[in-house]
Chain A
Amino acid sequence: MKTIRVNTLLAIMIVALSVSTLQAQHRRGWSPQAKGSAIGAGIGGVAGAIINKRNPVVGGLIGVAAGAAGGYAIGKGVDNRRKTNARIAAAERETALARREAADARREAALARQEAAAVASRPNRAGRAVPAHAPAAVPRPAESHAAAPMLVTTDPVTNQGKAIAATTATLPALYVSNALFLPNTSYGNFNTAYPLSEVRRKSW
């Protein structure tokens, strides 16, 4: 009878300790390993005390140790799964960001090509002096496979002229480097005439 009372008291104490530990963990945001260890220790302690009727204290301690070890293992597994999921989510975010940046780059390249085509499609006007450095007519895609005209551009670092074969593939790069056209310093300012042009168009 006395042994049963001791066992009951011990079990109540261990359960109470486990509950309070769990609440504290919840508040502090402990790691899954710590949470698993605490739960395992509580359950193992109670089970050990009940199973070992001859010496509930020793049984409880053994149960606490075994339960804590098992709980730690389970918590570690949970933690590993969470970290794996977080890595996958981060990789997916990076992939989405890269896709968005690639789409933006394609859009900007298309805009530059449109503006280049607009320049190239202008006929030579009588009476207008064409500057000596002006680029030759930009070839249409079908023509670009034939003789690609050479554009003269200037390296912004060495300031030395170099010839570049003007194809529809190279023109966006020339726009980006602003070697042929001045940049639009008012890009995005909708109070200006050409807010969405990456190259400057306002001259008069």
Chain B
Amino acid sequence: MAMALLASGCHSTDVVNVQDLNQQFITAWNNKDSAKIIGFLADDVHFLEGNTHLKGKAEVSQKWVRETLPTLSDLKTNVVSSTADAQTAYEAGTYSVDVLPEGPRQPHGIGEGNFILLWKKAPDNTWKLSYAQLEGFPVQARQ
């Protein structure tokens, strides 16, 4: 019995807590911590949104993370589907975010959309974001 419990315990530690992983990722966005966000990215990460398909850590870091980070705050996600096993984990659902004004007299906005974040276990046993796909809806002007 004790062996069985020990075995199941070992197995459960192999499966990542994807909710916690995503929470760390979202918190890094809200803290404007670009280094931590980029640290989550796999070397061969893919980012897809609309017409864009960014490949590799360098391109995704620059064109998604660094360019988008100054434009938003208060990112929230609502998970619709998720699962995790020993090698992969994903969360998918909807998001909402405050869109900061582009200039001093420009309006705030509220952005919404759909997302999927796919994590894979790296050879060093760390979990890295392997694939991210977003679908943004029209950004509403904050009245």
Contact = CB atoms under 8 A, between A and B. Distances in A.
A185 B102 CA distance: 10
Interface string A172-204: 000000111110010000111111010111111
A198 to B, nearest CB: 9
Contacts of B115: 204
Interface stretch (B44-52, B82-90, B121-129): B44-52
A5 interface: no
Contacts, number: 102
B27 interface: no
Most chain B beta carbons < 10 A, residue from A182, A193, A201:
A182
A131 B142 contact: yes
Given A129-B96, A203-B72, A181 B140 contact: yes
B95 interface: yes
Interface in B123-143: 134, 136-143
B140 A193 contact: no
B141 A131 contact: no
A119 B95 CA distance: 14
Contact of B139 (A191, A195, A199): A199
B75 A131 contact: no
A135 B142 CA distance: 11
Given A125-B78, A126-B78, A192-B51, A201 B110 contact: no
Most chain A beta carbons < 10 A, residue from B49, B139, B142:
B139
Interface string A84-102: 0000000000000000000
Contacts of A133: 140, 142-143
Contact of B97 (A127, A200, A203): A203
Interface string A37-60: 000000000000000000000000
B49 A202 contact: yes
A195 B136 CA distance: 13
A201 B50 contact: yes
Given A154-B143, A193-B136, A204 B51 contact: no
B51 A194 contact: yes
A2 interface: no
B109 A182 contact: yes
B24 interface: no
Given A122-B137, A134-B110, A203-B112, 15 more contacts: A128-B78, A129-B96, A133-B140, A154-B143, A181-B141, A182-B99, A182-B139, A193-B136, A195-B51, A200-B138, A201-B113, A202-B136, A203-B71, A204-B75, A204-B113
Interface of B: 29, 49-52, 68, 71-72, 75-76, 78, 80, 94-97, 99, 102, 107, 109-113, 115, 134, 136-143
21 contacts: A125-B80, A128-B78, A128-B94, A131-B140, A134-B140, A153-B143, A154-B141, A161-B143, A179-B141, A182-B107, A192-B50, A193-B49, A197-B138, A200-B109, A201-B113, A201-B137, A202-B136, A202-B139, A203-B111, A204-B68, A204-B111
**Nearest 8 pairs between A and B by C-beta?**
A203-B111, A193-B50, A201-B136, A133-B143, A127-B78, A193-B49, A200-B139, A199-B138
